[in-house]
Amino acid sequence: MIAQIAALQDAVSAVPEAPDAWFELGDILLDDGGVNDVPNAVTRAEASLRRARELDPEWVLPLDHQLMAKLWLEDTAGFRALALRWLALDTVPGDRSPYFRWRLGVALGDSAEVARQRASLDRWSDDALAFLAGNAQADAVGLSDVERAIRELERRAVTGKKLWNARLRRLDLLLNVGRPAAALALTDSLASGEPYPGWARVRRIEDALFCVLLGQMLAASVIDHFGLFGALIPYGADEPHTTGPLQREDREKVSFVQVDVDLAVH
């Protein structure tokens, strides 16, 4: 991936007037720069996408991506200005337009727009539904609508590869909402359609590591709030020895940490 980023940086240096090259560079920095330790990846992605738009002002695709970059940079003023531009350009809705209208509604607090797009989910393209099922999870927004999108993808697919892919989105959702046991069961059920031998075993390890990291962060939070002994109280204890009462929801969090550790070990 680093080599690809370097190649695209060479491309924009060699042909600085090519909007496609700037877009590709911005796209790869936005999606993969951070996980590959590229410094200021999102800031650099936003600058590359902005340059692509300067070279081709009517091209909506760089604008889509620039909007996402503005969200991640928490540039509210810049996001609002770009949102107005996007709405002006989107006169002929494309495959992903419903998703972006929904996402703009969520970001701008426009509940009426969110409701309009939600009501039409059954008419969204598969591409738009896939964006909602995936990107909204990555942004940790609208998870109830993520569930609706996954259900619609499952309904349309019925069987085969499309259904397998929809259930893979559901697996991600189960992990993201803190249901590791259900995610493990779903991973096992997906083994029959695994893309390569051993996929399910590798996925179990990846998911366990994800849950352990999440569990460690959660445990640290519980310890910080209740003290070490409070975090070690087993679920269902009648009289937890803490500096304050351990409520049911907090006991569930402690139990969740233990489940994560069990998954990783086994």
Chain length of the chain: 266
36 contact partners, CB below 8 Å, separation of at least 6: 1, 2, 5
pLDDT at 242: 38
| Residue among 167, 159, 93 nearest 130 (CA) | 167
How much is the average pLDDT of 9-34?
94
Largest CA distance in the chain: 70
pLDDT of 260 > 80? The answer is no
Give the integer Cα–Cα distance in Å for 32 and 249: 36
| CA dihedral for 104, 109, 111, 112, sign (positive or negative) | negative
Say if residues 150 and 133 touch (Cβ distance below 8 Å): yes
Q: Tell me: the pLDDT tens digits for 90-116?
A: 766 667 889 988 998 998 899 999 999
pLDDT score, position 41? 94
| Average pLDDT value over all residues in the chain | 80
Kindly state the average pLDDT of the residues 58-85. 88
Check pLDDT > 60 for residue 43. Answer: yes
Residue 1 in this model has a pLDDT that exceeds 90: no
pTM, 2 dp:
0.68
Choice among 1-15, 145-159, 233-247 with the minimum mean pLDDT: 233-247
Distances (CA, A) of 128 to 42, 100, 115: 23, 8, 16
Q: What is the dihedral sign for C-alpha 113, 118, 124, 128?
A: positive
